[in-house]
Amino acid sequence: MVLIAKETIEQQANKLLEQSIIYYKEQAVGAVAATDSERDALNYDQCFIRDFIPAALVFLIQGKTDIVYNFLIETVVLQKKKRRIDCYQPPTGLMPASFKVESQGDSQYLHADFGDKAIGRVTPIDSCLWWVILLRAYVKATGDETLAKSDSFQEALIFILEICLGPQFEMTPTLLVPDGACMIDRPMGLSGHPLEIQSLFYMALRAAREMLVNDEAGQALTDKINNRLGSLNFHLRDYYWLDLQKLNQIHRYEAEQFGESVVNKFNIYPESIPYWLTDWMPDVGGYLAGNLGPGKMDFRFFALGNLTAIMGSLTTEKQSEDILNLIEHRWSDLVGKMPMKLCYPAIKGLTWKIITGCDPKNTPWSYHNGGSWPVLLWMMMAACQKMGRGDLADRAMEIAEIRLMNDEWPEYYDGKNGRLIGKSSRKFQTWTIAGWLLAKLLRENPDCLNYVCFEEDTEAITCTI
């Protein structure tokens, strides 16, 4: 009797990732979002800029740099194409949310979606930020600055920076964005200054600064970046931070104050502290709040924003340690049976109806509303490795490996403990596959952490009061 060796999870992940690759004019240029043959393709047969990041990083670590090179080249071409949505033409600096290969006769072309085909027609603000971060990772992996320093790529960087650093009706250094402009691309009450965008913004500015040509125009942009980084760093570390001590301060805030020296600068009412938080906040640990604006603080925990804050050294070393301490202390809530919750807790009842518009996909503990996303494994691994807490990431990996292969690599999981495969989840989701594979590669190749992580910034202009 001949025994056939069972395929390992790593072998299957690599095979599935290879099968997801998109080819354009006989060159690999990206990967489809999912290869689930049991459901309608919808837009899952496209390559999403955001979704491709973990796969691209896997390819860089594996030495398959040509795929990332082609992806970067083609997205720059798409960025400069003029698009019109109804009667409005969005600015040139936007990166598309996604693209797909279309055929016309014997010819192929790339068709991009800048939000004109998205639900709610929301522009993907995070696409251009992730693109800049990936470009830096490519430079780090290859040691070749030629692509980033080329005229077309410098122009692309300048376009992005002009949008992000341009004048705005704002008194804060954070980016003002609409609801649905990030990974949570449906209404979830994120309009304003969501943490995810601010953390990515901080990382993208630092990445862009490294790659700008050192000429007169580049130096002028570098000066703008340094001014913004210093104030952004201070703003998020001070005003977004939540721990037991800060919670006590907010509990005793006086509201309706006026003037420059007031403590409660954003007029946060103590009554807005949610009932669950006072018991949930551990004695040791803390996190960055989900959003902050005039009279409003979103007290929910958002995993992506907090993990990328650690990766980018947006948080102090002590704050980074506290975020991981909070994850450890609230493991059953944030990790549960499948790492890890995109946000916690879920919004329910009348609040859910008002904020989501009764969105049937974002019901409590599903999808973006408290669902569990395996793709976050790689960010958790990067953050934990950076802070010397590999034990936490290994624990999460062990949980994921029990189920991912048997469950056919779903997009997300439902339920308060993440025990159910997402009700609308696509299987063989590329960034789920790549997220697990990237986490494993980062664990085995810690030197590659510098592709996506930053040390404390010493160049930005420090903000003082």
Query: Long-range contacts: 226-231, Cβ < 8 Å, 24+?
Result: 226/459, 226/460, 226/461, 227/460, 227/461, 228/165, 228/173, 229/202, 229/205, 229/457, 229/459, 229/460, 229/461, 230/460, 230/461, 230/462, 230/463, 231/173, 231/463
pLDDT of res. 267: 93
pLDDT of res. 394: 97
Q: What is the DSSP letter of 426?
A: P
- Quick count: other Cβ atoms within 10 Å of Cβ 157? 26
- Quick count: other Cβ atoms within 10 Å of Cβ 273? 17
Residue 434: which region, alpha, beta or left (left: phi > 0; alpha: psi -120 to 50)? alpha
pLDDT of res. 464: 52
Q: How far apart are CA 213 and CA 327, in angstroms?
A: 40
Q: How far apart are CA 26 and CA 48, in angstroms?
A: 20
Give the up-direction half-sphere exposure of residue 126: CA atoms within 13 A in the CB hemisphere.
Answer: 25
**Which structure tokens are listed for 411?**
């997009």
Q: How far apart are CA 216 and CA 286, in angstroms?
A: 42
**Which structure tokens are listed for 52?**
């491709």
pLDDT of res. 463: 59
How confident is the model over 396-444, as pLDDT tens digits?
A: 999 999 999 999 999 999 999 999 999 999 999 999 999 999 999 999 9
Cβ-proximal residues to 461 (8 Å cutoff; 6+ apart), any chain: 226, 227, 229, 230
pLDDT of res. 266: 93
How confident is the model over 119-145, as pLDDT tens digits?
A: 777 788 999 999 999 999 999 999 999
Cβ-proximal residues to 376 (8 Å cutoff; 6+ apart), any chain: 303, 304, 307, 339, 340, 342, 435
Q: How many helices (H) and strands (E) does the chain have?
A: 17, 13
With beta carbons less than 8 A apart as the criterion, state whether 126 and 182 touch.
Answer: yes
pLDDT of res. 4: 53
3-state secondary structure of 80: coil
Pairing of strands 47-48, 98-104: antiparallel
pLDDT of res. 5: 59
- H helix intervals, 212-342: 216-239, 244-251, 275-280, 303-311, 317-329, 331-334
Domain 25-451: which topology?
Answer: Glycosyltransferase (1.50.10)
With beta carbons less than 8 A apart as the criterion, state whether 342 and 361 touch.
Answer: no
DSSP string, 406-421: TTT--S-EESTTS-EE
How confident is the model over 319-372, as pLDDT tens digits?
A: 999 999 999 999 999 999 999 999 999 999 999 999 999 999 999 999 999 999
* Residue spans of the chain under pLDDT 70: 1-5, 82-87, 463-465
Q: Kindly list the distances between the CA atom of residue 430 and the CA atoms of 35, 300, 403, 450, in Å, as whole numbers in the listed order.
A: 8, 28, 16, 23
pLDDT of res. 94: 82
Q: How far apart are CA 280 and CA 333, in angstroms?
A: 10
Measuring CA to CA, which residue among 34, 37, 31 is closest to residue 53? Answer: 31
